[in-house]
């Protein structure tokens, strides 16, 4: 039986059920299967993750970095960024025409990837490259679950994101952001929440659920902060009002926390 002679609609639906690893194997069978793999949608995968990392080696005459990641069951090994990214994009286009991702993660560590990726990443501080608000909202519109590090975001941007998620009634959406304590604390403070906020207090459309706890010697016992905004929950870990360079995470979304 000639599988390629089956109706196009059937072939396209069938290829949505094939894993990424199996797509790699199928495309090696013949030119017909190679074209089938490249021209069909890959269906749904739970998670895709990409990490861009710089290297700073004084003994190396090249300046650059590497990237790695995974799409579903396919692990993308470390590629030298200077030479490998275009090859990776070409490889991606040979595996599928499109894909639906349940949770998308993008981590950037001090590396100027804007030129190669043709996406808006900005150098706000020397050697610190972050995801722009423009890119963040594009990713938010495309994915139900995001994990991102170092996102350019104002209080208005945060409210806009919370409003968009609150209005999304079909499926639960969530965002997981990583940054330093000062950046996230300043963002929350600019929304009207501060060290003097108490449980149950309302700050605009924000409702304070639980504030960080201190002992009688003013030492933090619990550094978590919980808020509500419309239909969204917001949870901040390591929320120290005096700020700092330590890692801090902020999660917000609908559905289960």
Q: How confident is the model at residue 85 (pLDDT cuts 50, 70, 90)?
A: low
Sequence spans of domains, the chain: 1-152, 180-257
Residues 147-168 pLDDT 10s: 888 888 999 999 999 999 998 8
* Per-residue model confidence as pLDDT tens digits over 16-29: 888 888 988 898 88
Residue, of 127 and 171, whose pLDDT is higher? 171
pLDDT digits (tens, 9 = 90+) for 197-227: 889 999 889 999 998 887 666 677 788 899 9
pLDDT, tens digit, 9 for 90 and up, residues 226-241 = 999 999 999 999 888 8
**b/e sequence 192-214, b meaning 16+ C-beta within 10 Å:** ebeeebeeeeeeeebbbeebbee
Report the predicted TM-score, pTM, of the whole model to 2 decimal places: 0.64
């Amino acid at each position: 039986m000639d599988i390629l002679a089956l109706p196009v609609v059937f072939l396209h639906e069938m290829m949505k059920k094939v894993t990424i690893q199996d797509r790699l194997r199928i495309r090696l069978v013949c030119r017909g299967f190679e074209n089938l793999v490249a021209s069909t949608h890959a269906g749904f995968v739970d998670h895709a993750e990409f990490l861009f990392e710089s290297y700073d080696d004084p003994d190396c005459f090249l300046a650059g970095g590497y990237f790695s990641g995974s799409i579903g069951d396919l692990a993308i090994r470390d590629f030298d960024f200077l030479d490998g990214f275009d090859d990776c994009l070409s490889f991606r286009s040979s595996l599928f025409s499109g894909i639906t991702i349940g949770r998308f993660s993008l981590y950037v560590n001090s590396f100027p990837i804007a030129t190669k990726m043709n996406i808006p990443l900005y150098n706000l501080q020397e050697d610190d490259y972050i995801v722009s608000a423009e890119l963040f909202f594009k990713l938010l519109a495309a994915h139900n679950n995001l994990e991102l590090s170092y996102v350019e975001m104002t209080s208005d941007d945060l409210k806009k994101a919370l409003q968009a998620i609150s209005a999304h009634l079909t499926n639960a959406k969530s965002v997981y952001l990583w940054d330093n304590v000062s950046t996230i604390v300043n963002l929350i403070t600019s929304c009207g929440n501060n060290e003097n906020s108490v449980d149950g207090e309302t700050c605009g459309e924000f409702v304070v659920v639980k504030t960080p706890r201190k002992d009688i010697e003013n030492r933090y016992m619990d550094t978590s902060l919980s808020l509500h905004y419309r239909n969204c929950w917001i949870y901040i870990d390591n929320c120290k009002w005096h700020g700092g360079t330590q890692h801090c995470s902020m999660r917000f979304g609908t559905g289960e926390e």
